């Protein structure tokens, strides 16, 4: 597994903000990704680095590019 270790501030802010924007509960996202709510919250609050694989899954679920969560534009 490869973990992302840079851009954490932008990443955590955008993970939470985009989930809120889509009106998704953390339990819905966790279920879709087959992870616990606790794991998702660790990602959203920067308590644990996110794996590249999980970031790609979130990007697909949220319909944005992975680079968006790292500070890029929300390219679809």
pLDDT at 35: 94
pTM as predicted: 0.80
Q: Which two tokens stand for residue 5?
A: 């270790």
75 inside domain:
no
pLDDT of the residue at 38: 96
Question: Residue 23 is encoded by which pair of tokens?
Answer: 């009106």
* 24 domain-assigned: yes
Counting the structural domains of the chain, the total is 1
pLDDT per position as a tens digit, 1-56: 655 555 578 888 899 999 999 999 999 999 999 999 999 999 999 888 888 899 99
Give the span between the Cα atoms of 37 and 15, in whole angstroms.
14
Written as one string, the DSSP assignment of 53-72 is HHHHHHHHHHTS-HHHHTTS
pLDDT at 72: 76
Any domain includes 23: yes
- For 52, the domain range is 8-66
| 74 assigned to some structural domain | no
Q: Quick check: is 2 in a domain?
A: no
């Amino acid at each position: 597994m490869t973990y992302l270790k840079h851009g954490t501030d932008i990443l955590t802010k955008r993970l939470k903000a985009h989930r809120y924007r889509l009106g998704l509960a953390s339990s819905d996202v966790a279920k879709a990704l087959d992870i616990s709510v606790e794991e998702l919250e660790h990602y959203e609050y920067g308590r644990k680095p996110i794996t590249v694989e999980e970031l790609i899954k979130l990007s697909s679920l949220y319909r944005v590019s992975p680079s968006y969560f790292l500070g890029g534009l929300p390219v679809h």
